[in-house]
Structure 1
Amino acid sequence: MQFAVNYSREAEYLVENSLIDVDLFKCPDFSESLIQKAQEIKPCYIHFGLNAGSRQLNHIDWDQLFKLKQMTQTPYVNVHAVAFCEQYPGMDVLTEEPSHIERIIDAVVNDINKLGEAVGIENVIMENVICRGPGENMFKAIIEPNVLTEIVNRTGCSFLLDIAHAQLSALSLGFNVKDYISRMPITNLKELHITGIQKDKNGRLRDSMPMTENDWDLANWTLNNIKTIEWPEPWVVALEYGGVGQAFEWRSDQKVLIEQVPKLYEMVKTSQ
């Protein structure tokens, strides 16, 4: 397994000065110049801002996607399985009505198939997102393990497990996160994202935060399942702490990176 960290100015400085070590930078897809800059320090791969189930894939700049994928030798094209509330007016966010759930599955499957036609379905990995429940923007159905498994089975894509997304959903909806993750389509695992869960200044739980004791426990449990060959080995494990832009720069602390990157790097490498 390779080990990556979100690209940030802070991470770039620390890697360039040999204060932390990673195999790759994980870069967003919105700035070609940023990617070129990052590649001067370390190899990079792209995390694409694609959603399946929202009709976004009808408006993709395919030439740019292929350009970035080739430029960085990114092996897979990731896509988030989504069911935004505004797309299903009149439906309860917690709906268990089979016809509603089938509509959601069909929308995601149709989009993933479009992506598969463009890049090859063997190169597509689907990521689990967050559901926080009533009053929020994501239907609970799209984070259900049986729904995610159905989508993987229908399309033939692989799975990107974000354990922080799983943890936020579990905390919001009141279920056991390890049991929840265990019921996901883990046999199709290709990529793993790890990061911390903490409250922001407004008291809202966020991911891409420093790791806490609970986060380390979940990461250790996850990596141990890989080490014992219970789960397939993903091609990369990414620490999704820090980043670029207004949404992430306030949570890109060099001290956190210096403390937590080496610890997770060691955990990843010893789980192989």
Structure 2
Amino acid sequence: MKLAVNYSEEAERLVSDSLVEIDLFKCPDFSREWIDHAEKTIPCYIHFGLNAGDRQMDKVNWEKVKELREQSKTPYVNVHAVAFAKDYPNTDIFSTSPSVVNGIVDAVVRDIEIVAEKVGMENVIMENIVCRGQGENTMQAIIDPTIISEIVHQTGCGLLLDTAHAQLTSKCLGYDVKEYISQFPVKQLKELHITGIQADEEGRLRDSMSMTKDDWELARWVMQRIKDGDWQEPWVVSLEYGGVGPKFEWRSDQDVLIEQVPMLCDLVK
């Protein structure tokens, strides 16, 4: 398994100064400048902002996807499995109606098949997102492990497991996070994202934060499942802390990186 960290200027300086050791930077697909910066230090891979389930795949610039993927030698094209409440008007977000569930599954499967036509199904991985419950913008069905497993089974794509997304979902909906994750198609695990979750000033939980005691406990449990052979070993484990742009640059504390990157490295390596 390789170890990656979200690209940030702070992370780049630390790697350049040999204060942290990682294999890769994980870079967003929206800035060639940052990708070029990252690759001057160590290799990077691209995390694509593609959604499967909102019927927008026909608007994707596939030439750009191909170019970025080839430049960085990114092995997989990731998609986020989504079902936005706005696309299912007058429908309870907790609906388990077969017509609603089948509609969600069909929409995600169709979009994944479009991606597969461009890159091959063996190169597509699907990431779990967050569902916070009533009053939010996500249909609960899309985070149901049974439905996630059904989509993976129907398409043959791989799984990108985001533990922070699973933990946020579990805390908001009252699940036991380990039981919840254990129901995912972990035998098809291809990539793993780990980061901390913390409350903002209004008490709303968010991810891409520094790791807390609970986050580390979950990370250790997940890594043990992989090392015991219960789950498939992913090609990369990425610490999704910090980043670039207004949404992430304020939470790119180099002291956090100096402390937590080696801790995750110990778990992964």
**What is the TM-score normalised by the length of structure 2?**
0.99
Measured after TM superposition, the shift of residue 97 of structure 1 is 0.9
How far apart are 1:201 and its partner, in Å? 2.4
**In structure 1, what is the equivalent of residue 50 of structure 2?**
50
Structure 2 residue 188 is the aligned partner of structure 1 residue 182? no
Shift of 1:33: 1.5
CA distance in 1, matches of 2:257, 2:45: 19
For 2:199 and 2:187, locate their aligned partners in 1 and report how far apart those are by CA, in whole Å: 32
Structure 1 equivalent of residue 204 of structure 2: 204
1:159 alignment partner in structure 2: 159
Residue 166 of structure 1, CA deviation: 0.3
Cα distance between partner residues in 2 of 1:260 and 1:33:
26
1:99 deviation in Å?
A: 1.1
Q: Quick one: which amino acid aligns to residue 227 of structure 1?
A: K
Listed as ranges, the matches of 1:102-113 within 5 Å are 102-113=102-113
Root-mean-square deviation (CA, aligned residues, Å) is 0.6
* Aligned equivalents of 1:31, 1:232: Cα separation in 2: 32
| One-letter identity of the residue aligned with 2:6 | N
Counterparts of 1:56 and 1:265, CA distance in 2: 37
Counterpart residue number, 1:149: 149
**SS of equivalent residue, structure 1 residue 153:** helix
Match of 1:33 in 2: 33
Q: Deviations over 1:103-155 (max 9, x none)?
A: 00000000000000110000000000000001001110000000000100111
Compute the displacement of 1:229 (Å). Answer: 0.7
1:262 maps to 2:262: yes
The residue aligned with 1:118 is 118
**How far apart are 1:26 and its partner, in Å?**
0.1
Post-superposition shift, 1:226? 0.6
| Structure 1 moving runs of 4+ over 4 Å | none
**Secondary structure in 2 aligned to 1:161?**
strand
Shift of 1:58: 1.2
> Partner residue of 2:100?
100
TM-score, structure 1 as length reference: 0.98
Task: Give 1:182 shift.
Answer: 0.3
Is 1:11 matched with 2:35? no
Cα shift at 1:29: 0.1
**Offset, 1:202:** 2.8
AA at the equivalent of 1:4: A
TM superposition shift of 1:180: 0.4
CA distance in structure 2 between the aligned counterparts of 1:150 and 1:228, rounded to whole angstroms: 25
- AA paired with 1:188? Q
Query: Counterparts of 1:250 and 1:203 in 2: how far apart (Å)?
Result: 18
Distance (whole Å) between structure 2 residues aligned to residue 143 and residue 240 of structure 1: 20
Number of residue-to-residue matches in the alignment: 269
Mapped partners of 1:4, 1:205: distance in 2: 24
Structure 2, gaps ≥5 residues long: none
Q: CA deviation at 1:56?
A: 1.9
SS in 2 for 1:257: helix
Amino acid in structure 2 at the alignment position of 1:111: D
SS at match of 2:148: helix
SS in 1 for 2:190: strand
Q: Which amino acid aligns with 1:209?
A: M
Query: Where do residues 235-250 of structure 1 align in structure 2 (5 Å cutoff)?
Result: 235-250=235-250
State how far apart, in whole Å, the 2-side matches of 1:56 and 1:48 are.
14
Listed as ranges, the matches of 1:200-239 within 5 Å are 200-239=200-239
Matched letter for residue 24 of structure 2: L
Deviations 1:192-216 (A, max 9, x none): 0000010122321011001000000
Residues 37-82 of structure 1: CA deviation (Å, up to 9, x unaligned): 1100010000000000011211000000000000000000000000
Residue of structure 1 in register with 2:191 after alignment: 191
Q: Which residue of 1 aligns with 2:136?
A: 136
